[in-house]
Structure 1
Amino acid sequence: MGYQYTAIGDSLTTGFGALPGNGFVPVYRRMAETSLGTTVSSTNLGVNGSTTAELGQRLRNNTLYRMALRQSDLITLSIGGNDLIRAAKSAAAQQGDSSRILSGALQECKRNFTGIMGTIAELKSGAREPYIIRIVGLYNPFPQFGEATEWVLHFNRYASQYTNGVCRFAAIYSHFAGNEKALLSLDHLHPNGRGYRVIAGQLNALGYGWLR
């Protein structure tokens, strides 16, 4: 029979920071094949540096993305980290204004995320076959920056509210907090192979819902 898996998102989806084949998408695909007992074909549509606004635009306007999602049985979404990184850099350049900048970026990120989830729901409306969506939560690449921690936690709470029979949220924050040296690559932003295995493991632990 077999299933079709489409991964959308940012550099976490592309597996940046790990050797080829060691990002969470290929690792999770292999885990899914084992759990489901059948072949799982994957399409990786991750784009390094992608923000929620940019991904939302692709989902609305890019035929490749829209067709891939319509045909998918399994969808993973990793997005939001670059919204934080850009806001943090902007805040650092404008000392004394960090709270306003980060708060504004968070509200925009949430609006864009709502749009992304709405577009996916629209594309999957009327789907004849069961499908599942898995959201990858954020970890904090700036643990020394207290406001960034609050930003990540707030976003994760918001994204986790989309949990339902089709969609589930993979919480990875607690696995990375305090373990950044072991789980992040040399750039201190992206996971290394071990970090990506943690993400894939959390996704796999959510089960496969109606696909089983």
Structure 2
Amino acid sequence: MLDQQVRLIVDREVRAAPRLTPAGERILAAASTLFYEQGIRTVGVDAIAAAADVTKKTLYDRFGSKDRLIAAYLEQRDRTWHLFLDEQLAARKPATPEAVILVLFAALTDWLAGSRNGCGFINASVELAAPDHPAMPVIVGQKRWMRSEFEAQAQAAGLADAGELADRLLLLHEGALVSYRVAAMTSAPEVAARAAADLLAGWPRV
């Protein structure tokens, strides 16, 4: 049971990391730090180029525009998040689909440790209001993936109305991220995990 459930995470489709030149890697690393810590709109290409020790021309040559660099930052963050969840599953060894769901909640505590800025995807969605921005499919895709994983695990567990349960679990998960950032509620991941456990315990089976 454990190996089968863990593979539901490991076997997902995640875009492979693009091959970058050393300069491109420095640009993406600098942009990722600055965007997350200071905000996407407040950080200009001059600051990114300076932090990466490249010219603005090199930045545009590698990424085309700041908007494409923002999308690349979020794509990289998405890959990092998936790898982090794989590590959490391997370390915690959940034995049931319900336990896998709870690992997805418990992982938030470690993911947010030492950070005051919460979820980079939620933060970006607030700053990037235009629906046609190149980064929006990355943001939407990341949240849809979380919901689909909740639904897949609920179905594997034989829980009734897996779609409705997935909706509620996603609201708890994302609500914890927002509360952590906006309300400075550092206990939000633990509170959400307890609420998810209570929800699962009382949910009817097929």
Shorter-chain TM-score above 0.5: no
Which gives a bigger RCO, structure 1 or 2 (Cα 8 Å, sep 6+)? 1
More strand per residue: 1 or 2?
A: 1
More helix per residue: 1 or 2?
A: 2
Query: Under a length normalisation based on structure 1, what TM-score does the superposition of the two structures give?
Result: 0.36
- Rg comparison, structure with higher value: 2
